[in-house]
Structure 1
Amino acid sequence: MFDEGRPMAVPPPPDDALSYEGLERLFASLNQASGIVAAVSGGPDSTALMHLLALWRAAGLRPPVLVATIDHGLRPDAVEEAAFVASEAGALGLPHRTIAWMGDKPATGIQEAAREARYRLLADHAHAAGASHLVTAHTLDDQAETVMMRLARGSGLSGLAGMRRETERHGLVHVRPLLGWPKARLLDLCRSQGWRFVEDPSNANALYARVRWRGLMPLLAAEGLDATRLARFAERVARAEEALDLKAQEALERAGLSGEGSPLAFDGSILASEPFEIALRVLEQALIGAGLGLENSRLNRIEAGVERLREALGAGEPLSFTVAGALVRLDRAGRVTIRPEPPRRRGR
């Protein structure tokens, strides 16, 4: 369904978002980019982002902005929507490309699989075009939903910090300039400015977890737990996360970390002498330092690994176990060695 975005009697944005100064603040971190890929689906959020980027680019000498739409191959309307975005981008003088997610689709976990495929395809396109930055239209409401979903899954502090405004992804700088903007504000902006957009019916499909959480948000807001407070909570968690990671890094350095990549070793006594949360982060940082990716690792398994190491250290006994794709060994001298788990043992 297409919304023509005709001007309506809605209040203007509460600040100078469309002024030169407002656009400069919004996209300040993009000035040094070699190129920018903007992910645009055609919905009001990403449509507003595309128009704001076009206004910003027209106001001065800017890096090239490339618009990309991912066709996940999950809805027949996606082809028409991608063509709509291509037309709108062309009218703004922005090059556009539709990228199809090819191959078989999983029977379960389709949203997560689609998300991973989307970022991979966007990154491939950006690298091929020589772009250094990826921009997406995540909003304040998206942040609140993400925090609640991760809380329900039992995430640790890292997950509850929500999405970062800037992060590294597939060798790109991933920027979310609208992370502090409510969706309603972007919708009003599109309609007041006459920016056309599309309505994605999957956003109302209760089969998807995020849609179900979106339906619960008004009930939470009525009790005071609105998007603004959840986003503020995520900011505070992110600050605590940063401080704890720094303390864990200092502890790992004191533990005499040796080796670059695999194998990696350090004095395991630091795991027993530090508070549990710091010990947990020491092991996580060591695993990452050994070249292991923790994106799909369950926090409770790493927590259990720290508990086992602390118990073995207290008893003066050696220990060997696998976690997050790594083989972790504690010898009788109390030294921990980490290397990738041998393929023949993976999954045991």
Structure 2
Amino acid sequence: MTRFAEELARLWPEEEREGPLGLAVSGGPDSLALLLLAHETLPGGIAVASVDHGLRAEAAGEVALVEATCRARAIPFAALRVRVPPGNLQSRARDARYAALARWAHAAGCGALATAHHADDQAETLLMRLARGSGLAGLAGVRDHGFVPETDLPLVRPLLGWRKAELEALVLAAGIEPARDPTNEDAAFDRARVRRHLAKHDWLDAAALAASAGHLAEAWRAIEWYAQIDWEEMVLREGEGPDGPVWRYYANVPRAIQVETVRRIVAELGGQVTRAEAGRAADRLWRGENASLGGVLAVPGIERVEKIGVEMRVWRFRAEPARRVH
């Protein structure tokens, strides 16, 4: 239990805690282990929610299992039901789940939300993203802390250093038979195929892969830090043009930083672009070509900066002119 308590304290320091720790518990071995560890570490200081996505008949029984586990320990519990819209099933289910959990955590006065992602999840995520050619932001994998999407609610994952097998052993030792989600073995999903591959090839060490994802996450945090400095020191709002504000960017940093700054400028102008789109635009601008992205027109140039006495690349961004219809 000390191991869990130390990791939780690192991710959610005691002096920052206001309200109980909310736990997302599905009824599987990983999340039940999270429940047991958190209950031991923070007795009387946790609340639990379980989400039924309405996709499987077994889900109601899994929610009931979590409720019974909480009732036996006098832990506040809430059952949440969500509707998953059509589209990418796993992605839409994730979005719906986090939205429901955020609403519940706010209503319950939770100070943070914890999920049960572990080292094996991290290894699977890294392999899937490598196969898709993801950039550094994607290869950084599952972060150990952050915020619930679209909210300011802290999100912590204190089990990223734990293996799935040890979490399952902890649950079984407590006399609880966890639920088994059949989609975890369904080869129609990428993650299930990657999981089988890892199990089949012992030279692929999940703990080592998870550690690599952690190193990549550290590198990504460094890029985020540098991108913030780039924004503060190299981006200026020049004023108003005929189509709205004009932003000036002295773009003389590595491409990875440029991408983050370009995305932020586009967002300031009301647009939204992916890192891949921002990267292609940055490449065009670096070659001296105009770029259009997310309803924003970017025009490159080179100017002498008198303050430091050197010439620098300068990119100007403005909303694209409205199309005139004759």
- Give TM class, smaller chain: 0.7 to 0.9
TM-score normalised by the chain length of structure 1: 0.78
Greater share of residues in strand: 2
**Residues 157 and 241, structure 1, Cα contact 8 Å, conserved in 2:** yes
Q: Structure 2 regions of 5+ residues with no counterpart?
A: 304-313
Range moving further from structure 2, 181-190 or 229-238: 229-238
Q: Give the aligned residue type for 1:36.
A: L
Aligned residue in 2 for 1:245? 224
User: What are the superposed Cα offsets for residues 273-301 of structure 1, whole Å, 9 maximum, x if unpaired?
Assistant: 3232232232234345556566xx3x322
Q: Give the aligned residue type for 2:170.
A: L
Aligned residue in 1 for 2:293? 322
Aligned residue in 2 for 1:45? 30
Alignment partner of 2:236: what SS? Answer: coil
Deviation at 1:167, TM superposition (A): 0.5
**Residues 144 and 231, structure 1, Cα contact 8 Å, conserved in 2:** yes
Range moving further from structure 2, 303-312 or 235-244: 235-244
How far apart, in 1, do the equivalents of 2:281 and 2:115 lie?
A: 36
Q: Give the aligned residue type for 2:317.
A: T
Deviation at 1:137, TM superposition (A): 0.5
**Residues 238 and 248, structure 2, Cα contact 8 Å, conserved in 1:** no
Range moving further from structure 2, 237-246 or 66-75: 237-246
User: What are the superposed Cα offsets for residues 235-270 of structure 1, whole Å, 9 maximum, x if unpaired?
Assistant: 22122222223333323333243389xx775434x3
Aligned residue in 1 for 2:171? 190
- For the structure 1 residues 185 and 265, does the alpha-carbon distance in structure 2 shift closer, same or farther, using more than 3 Å as the test? farther
Aligned residue in 2 for 1:129? 108
How far apart, in 1, do the equivalents of 2:283 and 2:55 lie?
A: 44
Alignment partner of 2:55: what SS? Answer: coil
User: What are the superposed Cα offsets for residues 108-150 of structure 1, whole Å, 9 maximum, x if unpaired?
Assistant: 4111110111111101111122223111100100011111111
**Residues 147 and 230, structure 1, Cα contact 8 Å, conserved in 2:** yes
Of residues 313, 317, 320, the one that matches 1:337 is 317
Of residues 65, 71, 76, the one that matches 2:52 is 71
Q: Structure 1 regions of 5+ residues with no counterpart?
A: 1-16, 314-318
**Residues 285 and 315, structure 2, Cα contact 8 Å, conserved in 1:** no
Q: Report the aligned-residue RMSD.
A: 2.8
How far apart, in 2, do the equivalents of 1:41 and 1:230 lie?
A: 25
Alignment partner of 1:37: what SS? Answer: strand
**Residues 265 and 335, structure 1, Cα contact 8 Å, conserved in 2:** no
Range moving further from structure 2, 202-211 or 240-249: 240-249
**Residues 86 and 96, structure 1, Cα contact 8 Å, conserved in 2:** yes
Q: Give the aligned residue type for 1:143.
A: Q
Question: 1:85-164 to 2 correspondence within 5 Å?
Answer: 85-102=66-83, 105-106=85-86, 108-164=87-143
Alignment partner of 1:330: what SS? Answer: strand
Aligned length: 304
Alignment partner of 1:257: what SS? Answer: strand
Deviation at 1:23, TM superposition (A): 4.5
How far apart, in 1, do the equivalents of 2:322 and 2:64 lie?
A: 45
User: What are the superposed Cα offsets for residues 65-88 of structure 1, whole Å, 9 maximum, x if unpaired?
Assistant: 221111011111111111121111
Alignment partner of 2:133: what SS? Answer: coil
- For the structure 1 residues 200 and 255, does the alpha-carbon distance in structure 2 shift closer, same or farther, using more than 3 Å as the test? same
How far apart, in 2, do the equivalents of 1:215 and 1:111 lie?
A: 18
Aligned residue in 2 for 1:274? 253
How far apart, in 2, do the equivalents of 1:30 and 1:239 lie?
A: 20
Aligned residue in 2 for 1:176? 157
**Relative contact order: is structure 1 or structure 2 higher (C-alpha 8 Å, sep ≥ 6)?**
1
- For the structure 1 residues 184 and 156, does the alpha-carbon distance in structure 2 shift closer, same or farther, using more than 3 Å as the test? same
Q: Give the aligned residue type for 1:172.
A: L
**Residues 48 and 195, structure 1, Cα contact 8 Å, conserved in 2:** no
**Residues 257 and 264, structure 1, Cα contact 8 Å, conserved in 2:** no
Alignment partner of 1:195: what SS? Answer: coil
- For the structure 1 residues 84 and 219, does the alpha-carbon distance in structure 2 shift closer, same or farther, using more than 3 Å as the test? closer
How far apart, in 2, do the equivalents of 1:93 and 1:40 lie?
A: 15
Of residues 259, 267, 277, the one that matches 1:301 is 277
How far apart, in 2, do the equivalents of 1:184 and 1:40 lie?
A: 18
Aligned residue in 1 for 2:310? none
Q: Give the aligned residue type for 1:311.
A: R
